[in-house]
Amino acid sequence: MINVLAAKFNQVDASIADTQYQITALQTKLSELQDYRQQLLSVEQACESALSQVNTALMMLHHVDPSQIDTFKTAVDAQFGVVGVGILESATVAPAEPTTPEPIAPTAPSAPAAPDVEPAIDVEVTTATDTPATDEPIEPATKATPPDIEGMLNKMTIQSIRKLAASKGADGKGTRASIAARLKKIVTESDIWDATA
């Protein structure tokens, strides 16, 4: 009876080793395929960028000197010649030599990650390089770019931003950043100036 069990154990151990080898080979193949897919994506992005640049150059050339379009086309066509193409290493990867996988000891499951929840404690951190927030009016932007409402809200003091939230009927609880995130869609630049005036 003992001999029969020993043979069975050997048979199961051989099956486990063979399965582990197959898993290792498949993981290697998966890694190679993922790398190749990433290379394809990079090539696709480079081609799209090149086409966009050629299109821009054609539009500019058509506007400045349309007679030079054929010269530009000849220059682009020349890039497809054998001499003009840079030689890169082949993307094919040599098959990996079969290796016997090392046994891996089981590990205890890791503790579940803490939920990504912002604590509702107001903490204002200042360092030597930070300037404290004040209730001074925030000057309007002079550029034509849209104002950074959330950035302006984050520069307000916690008391001012809570007062602004109350005046707009919004929830004024939580950190300055969480209140700013709620207010950024319902307040205007002038609302912020009025609240900090």
Mean pLDDT of the chain: 76
Residue with tokens 């098959």: 95
- Sign of the alpha-carbon dihedral angle for 170, 171, 173, 177: negative
pLDDT in tens, 42-58: 989 988 998 889 889 88
Taking a C-beta distance cutoff of 8 angstroms, is the pair 161, 138 a contact? no
Helices (H) and strands (E) in the chain, counts: 6, 0
Better-scored residue on pLDDT, 138 or 127: 138
| pLDDT of the residue at 40 | 92
What CA–CA distance (Å, rounded) separates 95 from 192? Answer: 63
Region of residue 169 (phi > 0: left; psi between -120 and 50: alpha; otherwise: beta): left
| pLDDT of the residue at 29 | 95
| pLDDT of the residue at 104 | 60
pLDDT in tens, 70-118: 888 888 888 877 554 555 555 555 555 555 555 565 555 555 554 454 5
